[in-house]
Structures are given as structure tokens and as C-alpha cells.
Chain A
Amino acid sequence: EVQLVESGGGLVKPGGSLRLSCSASGFTFSSYYMNWVRQAPGRGLEWVSAISSSSSYIYYADSVKGRFTISRDNAKNSLYLQMNSLRAEDTAVYYCARDGSVTSPFYWYFDLWGRGTLVTVSS
């Protein structure tokens, strides 16, 4: 079955760190750009970060640049998000999402999503 499963969420104090993981199965993980997208409680979707298939290209939203680090291990079919210096406004469900195209021309959208993992930043 083609799926993405996130893990690693939880309660953390402001200024703390957390590492999210996303396990992929049912498709050739190493061929796809991958992303993290988050959704604060009762709010809309916000793209957080993207990483190319070979990790050559990495992008961040301005809101997390310098605090979050995206990475992947293609041998383990896994995507990660290291989150440091966490703030209350980082509280959200974090989704792992696959890019919608595997070859050029690339279309920058998300065709497969996980169910998300909740991160709560609170003292």
C-alpha cells in the first residue's frame, strides 16, 4: 500500500527541540521530492519545507528558516524534520507530503499525504 506515516510529535516547552519522522512505503521513495506541511489548530495549511530526491535542493518557509532542518535517508525510505528553538506558534499538525511529479517538467504540488503528527509547544 502506498502510504506515508509520521511520528515523533508531542508536547515540548518553548525553546525546546523535537525531531519528526516520516516513513514511506509502497513507492520508490528515492525518486520523489518530499515536503513537510503544517496546520495550526483551526487554521489553514502552511508549507514548511521541501527536499529534492537526492537532497541536493532544500527549501524552507521564512517562518522556520534557521530553526528547522529537513533531511532524508533514501536507504530507510524516511524523511525527517529537526525542529529547534520551538515557539508557541509552531504548534500544529505536521504532515509529510509527496511531490506530485517524479520527472521533469516538475509540477510543484502534493499528491500523497500522511495522517499527520501533532506538535504542541507549551510551558
Chain B
Amino acid sequence: SYELTQPPSVSVSPGQTARITCSGDALSKQYAYWYQQKAGQAPVVVIYKDSERPSGIPERFSGSSSGTTVTLTISGVQAEDEADYYCQSADSSGSYRVFGGGTKLTVL
């Protein structure tokens, strides 16, 4: 098994850029995925395959990867972006999937 590590919290003011990191040895070999979960709701994928954005996700959401760390970047943060964000990955066969501990994004 392996682990993904995220900072517990990130705070930014509206209009600024938020960056949330996720680190783990497996990320150098496997894709990472990012989910947004607002209070009382189910998660929604906002980035897949490190940097791809699903249809319907605003362009201000982007993802990048470098070595064993992936980063979710939210440019021009809006109040509605306040949520918990989780990174996720899996082994090559899909037999094991893992989430990071989650990062609470606070919009000041």
C-alpha cells in the first residue's frame, strides 16, 4: 500500500491563487486525480490524469505534476470554491485506490 499526503488547510483571499499539493511515491508512476467536496455533498472530480479538466469544470481549476508531487491550482479563487479537496491515485491494475487526507480550502 502507499500513502498520499496533503496539507490539512489552505487559506486564500478572493481573486488570489490557491495551490494544494499532494505527495506520494506512487505519483511518479501513476496518475493523480482531484475531487472537490462541498459541505453535505458528494465529491466531484475536478482534475483527472494529473491535468485534464472534465467538462463543466471552470478553467480556473488546473493540475500539474512533478516527480512525486502533484498540485491543484485554483486561479482567481471565488467564494464558491470553499470546500474540501482530495487527491487520489491507484496502482497500475486498479486493485488498490487511495485518497489523500484532504485539504480544507478557506476563502477569507
A positions within 8 Å CB-CB of B: 33, 35, 44-47, 50, 57, 59, 61-62, 95, 99-100, 106-111, 113-116
B positions within 8 Å CB-CB of A: 1, 31, 33, 35, 37, 41-45, 48-49, 54, 84, 86, 88-91, 94-102
Chain A residues near B41: list those with CB within 8 A.
Answer: 115
Say yes or no: A59 contacts B95, CB within 8 Å: yes
A114 to B44, CA, bound (A): 10
Chain A residues near B37: list those with CB within 8 A.
Answer: 45
Least CB distance, A62 to chain B, in whole angstroms: 7
Say yes or no: A107 contacts B31, CB within 8 Å: yes
Given contacts A108-B94, A113-B42, A114-B42, contact A47 B48 (CB under 8 A): no
Say yes or no: A44 contacts B102, CB within 8 Å: yes
Q: Which of B54, B94, B102 contacts A45 (CB 8 A)?
A: B102
Say yes or no: A45 contacts B99, CB within 8 Å: yes
A114 to B33, CA, bound (A): 18
A105 to B41, CA, bound (A): 30
Least CB distance, A107 to chain B, in whole angstroms: 6
Q: Which of B44, B89, B102 contacts A113 (CB 8 A)?
A: B44
Least CB distance, B56 to chain A, in whole angstroms: 11
Say yes or no: A109 contacts B48, CB within 8 Å: yes
Chain B residues near A50: list those with CB within 8 A.
Answer: 94-95, 97
Q: Which of B1, B45, B100 contacts A111 (CB 8 A)?
A: B45
A57 to B94, CA, bound (A): 10
Least CB distance, A13 to chain B, in whole angstroms: 27
Say yes or no: A45 contacts B86, CB within 8 Å: yes
Say yes or no: A111 contacts B42, CB within 8 Å: no
Q: A50-B97, A110-B35, A113-B44 are in contact. List 18 more A-B contacts (CB 8 A).
A: A33-B94, A35-B97, A44-B100, A45-B37, A45-B88, A47-B98, A50-B94, A59-B94, A62-B1, A106-B94, A107-B31, A108-B94, A109-B88, A109-B97, A110-B43, A111-B48, A113-B42, A116-B42
